[in-house]
Amino acid sequence: MSAAIGNTIVSLPDQSTAQIPKRNYINNEHGLLSWLLTGDHKRIAILYLISITFFFFIGGAFAGLIRLELLTPQPDLVAADTYNKFFTMHGIIMVFLFLVPSVPATLGNFLIPIMLGAKDLAFPKINLLSWYLYLVGGGLTLGALVLGGVDTGWTFTTPLSTHYLNTHVITAATAIFIAGFSSIFTGLNFIVTIHRMRCPGMTWFRMPLFVWSHYAASLLMVLGTPVLAITLVLVALERLFGIGVFDPAKGGDPLLFQHLFWFYSHPAVYIMILPGMGVISEVISTFSRKRVFGYTAVAFSSVAIALFGFFVWEHHMFIMGVSNYSALVFSLLTMLVAVPSAIKIFNWAFTLQKGSITFETPMLYAFGFMGLFTIGGLTGVFLGSLGMDIHLTETYFIVAHFHFVMVGGMLMAFLAGVHFWWPKMTGRMYPESLSKLAAVTTFIGFNLTFLPQFILGYLGMPRRYHAYPPEFQVLNVLSTAGATVLGVGYMLPMLYLAWSLKYGAIAGNNPWQATGLEWQIQSPPLTENFIEIPIMDHEAYDYEWLENKTKNEVTTVG
Amino acid sequence: MGLSPVLWQFLVHWLHASALFPAEASGIAPYVDALYFFLVAMTIFGTTFVAILLLVFSVRYRREKNPVATQIEGSTLLEATWTIIPLAIFLVTFVWGALLYFRIYDPPTNAMNIYIVGKQWMWKAEHPGGQHEINALHVPTGKPIQLTMISQDVFHSFSIPDFRIKREVIPGRYSTVWFEATQVGTYHLFCTQYCGTQHSGMIGEVTVMTPGDYKKWLEQSNSGQSLAQNGERLFASMGCNSCHNGTAAARGPSLAGVYGSKLTLTDGRQILVDDAYLRNAILNPSEHVTAGFAPIMPTYQGQISEDGLIDLVEFIKNMQSNYRVQQTLVTATSGEAAPTTPSEGTTETVKP
């Protein structure tokens, strides 16, 4: 490692002599079956990474088709039913098959046991089962798609979904039902692992914040997903047998469906975003060489989000004729849930203060996350504010808002995490300048796509419209242009990350000089992660400990 | 609004001319926009603040300039600051938004009622005088209008962006919203809840007219029968009058003047009789039995369309005495058609 102070912390082993470790989890066993029947959390994470990337690009293709149709006000590209299927498939695939499993099932699966100093998750076979359930869910979704699609919207609103549509609603509902169990199993596995499998010395407050945020998200997965499952079963039963739970003609209540659906689907938003926040904590700390500012505040804010997240679902229904007074309560709680997110943003910002900051790709994505998530969060306050919600809900404003949180926030965090841990997962570095270009392209494309949608929303353009009044065209063209740039921004990482598998520089154990336990072992790790179970004798993000350790290693070797 | 009215008008006109801002065409719109501007300012301030923090720290503490980081644990004072300040701003937003919400959803007592029936994929407006419109709504300026809305099939949502109002239109229950149009013109009417194939075709035009033009329009569009008159015919033809006729021997409660009163039910509940109650009592009578009466009324679920229910509700709403009901009863039993009373000259005998 050279002594000169550069603008990077990357320190790679001498490339002329460096080698990928002879024995690691990737080459430990060979053959397709060794992957398909593996219990290794790292291999399952890779399986997940491949499958969610596949579904991400399918969902993305639908987004592209939607934007293409909306390029002109006339309904000229596809028929109305086809368009309705596009946004339904886009929503179902992106929410249930990409966002929910994205960070937890890939990075979380790979890293949580290592970060805790454990050899694997508590239930390796359930972990594998969860991937298979995901595949079955994904397969059924594709089945529904190939058989002719489904056009309920990802929200399955009754009585439209139960009585008025003749598409593959039950297939799609079954797919989500099954994929839901994959999510429950992942959450269960994480909770048990975090409680029972921490290495000696790994107290709760020495855990990396990545683990804390996954813990909070896991609680939501385990407690929330069953409600979604039941709701979808009721929708299927209503379609098949007309049981009437949601049918006013039989004494049922269509609003009950909304309550049940959002009781899961609002916490689901936090299932999606919390793990991403965990990634940001790790990245910000590493690239500013500082312990995360207010560690406990950040840890508890994750738990607070998980807790409050369960009590705000009715803010999706303010205009649906709920009692004005219950709307008051839910609006107030919505304002409260916004606070922990604000706390996190400020803690991350102040982590930079007096740090020693470098700007590698993961850090650029993390900066992107902070900017876009701030806008996404604050526009959420518009929608939580009762009187404002009346005008804004069900318009493009809400589309823009949740894309800022889910794409601007979560997808940025996911890409930050994939780049950050890529050397650990594969043993090789991604190409730095190309990836910086991709990060910047994504940021620009994203803003161009979704900022105009806020204005469209305030103008009143309703969501899920196949055709729209001509005066909205300019903003829609801007949005479509942005989506094109965004598409390029997402294609790039796929290409250069694949390239780096063979040609990337050899990363060594700890290219970022990071403090996490995962960086103290070889890259890619051994199947059993650690040669001997580590003993955690320092706080998380202890850069002085790392410095001493590095010094001692040098002296021992020398 | 806190802003001088002149400045406000200038701002709103300038924004509207740039096509980035909807017209302010209702009494509530300026109040919604005021909150919107506050929230936009909050967002711009918050985002800029975070961006400046990131930028300043990135420049001052970049590795070239600050090779060694100084470790800081945290600061309770700072944590408290950035908990309390956002919380305070969010609470202001909460109160402001709540006041606005109640204002938009609580109609004034003198509002004129128009019924809206949503169905895949059209809006039907029914004026009390019997004027019907499809995918259109004519309203006068300067008069509060309440919309009583119901869906015949799936969830719809009735939205007029230029009025800043919107409300879900739900199958099986009335929902209401009100507004007071201020600017003459035509405005978009959207269905904003996804409702199936032609969701984006479920649009219409709201025409705001001066009170004089509106009166002319009402006269031109008269279909001859008011909603209450339609309701009266239905009331007789469904045989409602055989029990609800106000005579001493009647098996059902008298409905004259029942609207707006407090009713005691057999289970002891006190209920305010409004549109929603009347509709429910027709469809699910066994759950709404007036104290002192036997639960003998059959359900009319599935037998009357939503339009018919609106007619009945409107009839009962305007029923001041049982005189005409009893008249109908006499003539109906003697096998004749519903009669017309000379006192109401507008009524014509129109064959159904």
Dist CA A403 CA A292 (whole Å)? 27
Residue found by looking up tokens 């919390």 in the block: A274
Per-residue model confidence (pLDDT) at position A386: 95
Say yes or no: B69 contacts chain A, CB-CB below 8 A: yes
How close is the nearest chain B Cα to the Cα of A267, in Å? 20
Q: B272 — contact with chain A (CB < 8 Å)? A: no
In contact, A100 and A272? CB cutoff 8 Å? yes
Question: What is the rounded distance in angstroms from the CA atom of residue A237 to the CA atom of residue B261?
Answer: 41
pLDDT of residue A280: 97
Packing angle, helices A473-503 and A412-426, rounded to 10: 10
Could you give the ipTM of this predicted complex? Answer: 0.93
As given in the structure block, the two tokens for residue B117 are 């029936």
Average pLDDT over residues B82-101: 95
Q: Is B287 on the interface with A (CB under 8 A)?
A: no
Q: Do B154 and A350 touch (CB under 8 A)?
A: no
Distance from C-alpha of A220 to C-alpha of A307, rounded to nearest angstrom: 8
What average pLDDT score do residues B210-237 get? Answer: 89
A chain contacts of residue B162, beta-carbon cutoff 8 Å: 460
Inter-CA distances, B56 with A284, A296, A450, B61, Å: 15, 25, 27, 8
The first and second tokens of residue A112, run together, are 């949580």
Residue with tokens 């606070």: A339
- Pick A388's closest partner by Cβ from B36, B50, B75: B36
Which residue of A7, A262, A324, A390 is the best one to mutate when testing the B interface, meaning the one whose CB has the most B CBs within 10 A? A390
Q: Percent of chain B having pLDDT more than 90? A: 52
In terms of CATH architecture, what is A38-321+328-553? Up-down Bundle (1.20)
- Identify the pLDDT of residue A275: 96
Summarize the confidence of residues A427-454 as an average pLDDT.
96
CA dist A259 to A49, A266, A315, B313, B322, Å?
Answer: 33, 10, 10, 29, 43
Which domains are present in chain B?
5-105 (1.10.287.90), 112-220 (2.60.40.420), 228-333 (1.10.760.10)
Q: What is the pLDDT of residue B242?
A: 84
Q: List C-alpha distances in Å: B245 to A353, B258, B313, B329.
A: 81, 13, 16, 8
At B2 the pLDDT is 59
* Residue B133 predicted with pLDDT over 80: yes
Say which of A255, A384, A464 has its CB closest to residue B194: A464
Contact A290 B72 (CB under 8 A): yes
Using pLDDT thresholds of 50, 70 and 90, give the confidence band for residue A4: low
Contact at CB, B63 and A352, closer than 8 angstroms: no
List A residues 259-298 in contact with B (Cβ-Cβ < 8 A).
288-291, 293-297
Give the start-to-end residue ranges of the domains of chain A: 38-321+328-553
Which of B66, B165, B188 has the CB atom closest to A469's CB atom? B188
Identify the band that residue B8 occupies on the pLDDT scale cut at 50, 70 and 90: confident
Chain segment A246-289, per-residue pLDDT in tens: 988 888 888 999 999 999 999 999 999 999 999 999 999 999 99
Quickly state the pLDDT bin for A555 (edges 50, 70, 90): low
In this prediction, residue A554 carries a pLDDT of 66
Instruction: Flag whether pLDDT at B338 surpasses 60.
Output: no
**A25, A37, A137, A530 from A29: Cα distances, Å:** 8, 11, 28, 18
Is residue B102 predicted with pLDDT exceeding 90? Answer: yes
For an interface test with B, the pick among A255, A381, A383 (most B C-beta atoms closer than 10 Å) comes out as: A381
User: Nearest C-alpha of chain B: how many angstroms from A427?
Assistant: 26
In this structure, the strands spanning B132-134 and B122-126 are antiparallel
A4 at B interface, C-beta within 8 A = no
Q: Do A151 and B197 touch (CB under 8 A)?
A: yes
* Å between A481 CA and nearest CA of chain B: 18
**Of residues A164, A289, A471, nearest to B19 (C-beta):** A471
Q: Is the CB of A329 inside 8 Å of chain B's CB atoms?
A: no
Q: Which residue of B has its CA nearest to A465?
A: B200
- Token pair in block for residue A460: 């009143």
Q: Residue B187's CB: how many other CB atoms inside 10 A?
A: 22
The predicted model gives A172-185 an average pLDDT of: 96
Residue B341 has pLDDT above 50, yes or no: no
Q: In DSSP terms, which residues pair with A395 in a beta bridge?
A: A462
Contact B54 A381 (CB under 8 A): no
B78 closest CB neighbour out of A339, A350, A352: A350
Mark yes or no for CB contact A81/B301 under 8 Å.
no
Structure confidence at residue B336 (pLDDT):
45
Burial of residue A246 (CB within 10 Å: 0-12, 13-18, 19+) is buried
- Distance CA(A357)–CA(B62), nearest Å, equals 4
Structure confidence by residue, pLDDT tens digits, A326-351: 999 999 999 999 999 999 999 999 99
Band (B352; pLDDT cuts 50, 70, 90): very low
Q: B274-287 pLDDT, tens per residue?
A: 888 999 889 888 88
| Closest partner CB to A319 (pick from B83, B99, B167) | B167
Give residue A43's pLDDT. Answer: 96
Of B50, B170, B172, the CB nearest to A371: B50
- Highest-pLDDT range among A457-461, A544-548, B229-233: A457-461
Q: Is the CB of residue B19 less than 8 Å away from at least one CB of chain A? A: yes
Q: Say whether pLDDT at B101 is over 90.
A: yes
Compute the average pLDDT of residues A487-509. Answer: 94
Q: Which residues of B touch A460 (CB under 8 A)?
A: 22, 159, 161-162, 188, 190
Residue predicted with more confidence, B250 or A446: A446
CA distances from A489 to A7, A411, A434, A444, B30 (A): 24, 12, 11, 9, 40
Grouping H, G, I as helix, E, B as strand and the rest as coil, residue A54 is helix
Report the residue from A288, A355, A385 with minimal CB separation from B97: A385
- Give the mean model confidence (pLDDT) for residues B7-14: 79
Taking CB atoms and an 8 Å limit, are B194 and A6 in contact across chains? no
How far is B340 from chain A, CA to nearest CA, in Å?
A: 35
| Cβ atoms of A523 and A498 closer than 8 Å | no
Q: Tell me: the pLDDT tens digits for B157-190?
A: 999 999 999 999 999 889 999 999 999 999 999 9
Distance from the Cα of A278 to chain B's closest Cα (Å) equals 18
CA distance, residue A120 to nearest chain B CA (Å): 31
Nearest CB to A379: which of B43, B69, B154?
B43
Residue B303 near chain A (CB below 8 Å): no
Across the interface, whether the CB atoms of A394 and B98 are under 8 A apart is answered no
Tokens of A300: 């508890």
The residues, any chain, with a CB within 8 Å of residue A480's CB and separated by 6 or more, are A67, A68, A70, A71, A449
What's the pLDDT at A556?
Answer: 55
- B24-50 pLDDT, tens digit each: 999 999 999 999 999 999 999 999 999
Residues of B in contact with A455 (CB under 8 A): 20
Q: Which residues of A touch B157 (CB under 8 A)?
A: 319, 394
For residue A33, the distance in angstroms to the closest alpha carbon of chain B comes to: 45
- Quick one: pLDDT at residue B342? 43
Name every chain A residue with its beta carbon within 8 A of the beta carbon of B299: none
